[in-house]
Amino acid sequence: MPTLQQVLFKHLPKQVSPGKSDFSLKPSAVDQWFDSLPLANVRVSTKSIYSAIKEVNGLSYSYKKRLYFLEKVHEPLVELANNLRKLNLNRELPLDEKHLRIAILIRKMHEQISIGYKQVLQELLNCKIAFLCSGRNKLIALVIERIIRHHSLSLISTYQLYQTPAKRLWSDLHKLFLLAKQQKLLSKKVTDSSFQLISETTIKNIYLQILLLSIADPYRMSQHYIYSIFRQLEEWAPLADIHSYKETDEKDKLFINLAEDQHPTFISLQDSSDKSQLWTLDTTKLDYTHLMEHFQNIENQTTEINVNILKQLSLAWGMVANRQHSRRPAKSKLKVAIGLNNVHYVLNGYADPEWITNDESDTGFQLSEAVQETGANFSSRTVESTVKVNDIWGEVFTSKTPLNLTEKETILNDSGISASKQPRSHKYWKMVNESIGGYCLQWDQKGSINAKVGEILAISHEEDKKEGYWFVGTIRWIKCIDDHKIQAGVQVLAPNAIAVSTAKYSSMQEGIKSRAILLPAIPVLNHPKTLITTGLGYEVRDQVMLYEYRLVNANITRVKTKVVLLDTLEVTPHFSRFKYLPAEEFYGTDKNKTSLKQEQDDTLSLDGDSEFDSIWDDL
């Protein structure tokens, strides 16, 4: 059986003696080269550093000279890779060719510098004469920490694009951790200026940092949350602990297998016949109470990590997730509309709607001016007219498109609506499997798709019908199978959803209307009726005007109701989901009337005011 060292160093490149024209690792030459780098120029600096590291990895130098060079470029490379990583966020998946090559470049940058540090590590481990390698243990700890750091950042880049980690990456991480344990260096302090929240760490803590993030399942997180949580784990990782499995460990503890080269997950003792590679993970101090205490003590809090994320993390680190419903294979195509705007379209019965149109095609709906008031908090409006439209909400929501945009350049999104002809509101996905609670869908067609974790969508089985029966759900996880396929896990929220509009009601005035989705109650599952709104703009205890359109005697009747938003059931970057009650019902008790007066007082007081030659020029 190969040793840890044999496995770690198996794939290192062959080295040759440096020639006169090769990159020199004399400290003075390295300093001169580094000082000449225009670090503010991402393109030039990235190309220079990447090329230099790759060249040096193939040259035979002493570990001291190599380490001096690597330490010089370590922090700048981390910063440059982070800047490149941001270029690929919030883009449609799968990535286009240019951004895919940027993603590959980021991975190669971390891979090449890790190879350099491995070459230093190999020489240090082979050094048995103390005076030839003074401070050996300290340097070994530093080098292992650096490799784990760059492996971790490579994984972050991979996870943010919902891709599968490169082969041997997790195997390397586990073996580096085990090597540090073997050398009794797990708790050795190492200084690293590339961190944002701390100045020094240990090998155990930096290993736990990426391990905990992976166990929390980044495939179920929005892109920007992944890095935010990873960064916060600089401080939170020491709250956890890890040790080799012992027979005395409780059966309800959490276990992982360090012999596997794959995304780590918790396993049960019954699932492992060989316990020699099992390690016990203690996450008792990462429960919701402890996380809230640390979260409240953070000096510079941001909206990137919130209470809902803390709940998600505490559940991920506190128990082994069990699927409630088994999945069964299924092969068929489904119509899928993604995003609040598109879901609103298809629920309204229009497969290819337009926001603003004077199309005279017969839709069966007619609009008019008659209004009938039926109460302070409820009104209906019946409409009859010879003017016919494709989307009855087109009059409610309007937005102008800049005149210099061509039809091809016009983009449909949740924040702005084009007046030109829009792309189809739904697309066809393959169903991989299904369960009572949801679906696994696959996109393998040409082009990219605007699918994001936490996005709302609508699904219909009626492939051939323009107006079909739609389920409303949300994307819980995404994985890129390869460069041209993505899979998405979808949880169904409710059938029979209704397209509505909402407007905040404050100081006796209605705000700007926005699209919303009304989900019916499901008594069998004990689910209350809920309202899906835009991701921003609505909060608990807001008074909201709710508009529904109903078809009565071949006429459209607009029903207007004042409601109050109650508990928040879900908040994602793309939508919020609230329980709600009609205002008359909510304010029917003395307790709620007192609450209303306090909220009104608060409102009034606040009302005042070469491999990558094709992309270097794109960076």
> Residue 144 and residue 172: Cα distance in Å, rounded?
11
Q: What percent of the chain has pLDDT over 70?
A: 75
Confidence of residue 451 (pLDDT cuts 50, 70, 90): confident
- Determine the pLDDT at residue 375: 37
Label the pairing between strands 514-519 and 530-534. Answer: antiparallel
Output the pLDDT for position 424.
58
How far is it, in rounded angstroms, from Cα 50 to Cα 42?
12
Residue 114 has pLDDT above 60, yes or no: yes
Instruction: Give residue 507's pLDDT.
Output: 78
| Residues 490-517, mean pLDDT to the nearest whole number | 86
Q: For residue 307, what pLDDT is reported?
A: 78
Band of residue 427 on the pLDDT scale cut at 50, 70, 90:
confident
Nearest to 59 by CA among 17, 30, 121, 21: 17
Same CATH fold assignment for domains 328-364+383-495 and 500-606: yes
Average pLDDT over residues 290-311: 71
| Confidence at 57, pLDDT banded by 50, 70, 90 | very high
Query: pLDDT-derived band of residue 389, with 50, 70 and 90 as boundaries?
Result: very low
Q: Which helix (H) or strand (E) holds 292?
A: helix 288-296
- Dist CA 383 CA 380 (whole Å): 10
Mean pLDDT along residues 549-559: 71
pTM value is 0.73
Domain formed by 328-364+383-495, architecture: Beta Barrel (2.40)
Domain boundaries, the chain: 4-230, 328-364+383-495, 500-606
Output the pLDDT for position 175. Answer: 95
CA angle, corner 346, sides to 343 and 349, nearest 5? 150
The class of domain 500-606 in CATH terms is: mainly beta
Q: What does the pLDDT average to over 320-338? A: 66
pLDDT of 146 > 80? The answer is yes
Cβ–Cβ < 8 Å for 264, 212 = no
pLDDT-derived band at 593 (thresholds 50, 70, 90) equals low
Alpha-helix runs per DSSP H in 161-273:
169-182, 203-215, 223-236
Give the mean model confidence (pLDDT) for residues 326-335. 69
Higher-confidence residue of 161 and 290: namely: 161
Does residue 482 have a pLDDT over 60? yes
Asked whether the predicted pLDDT for residue 69 surpasses 80, the reply is yes
Q: What is the mean pLDDT of the chain?
A: 79
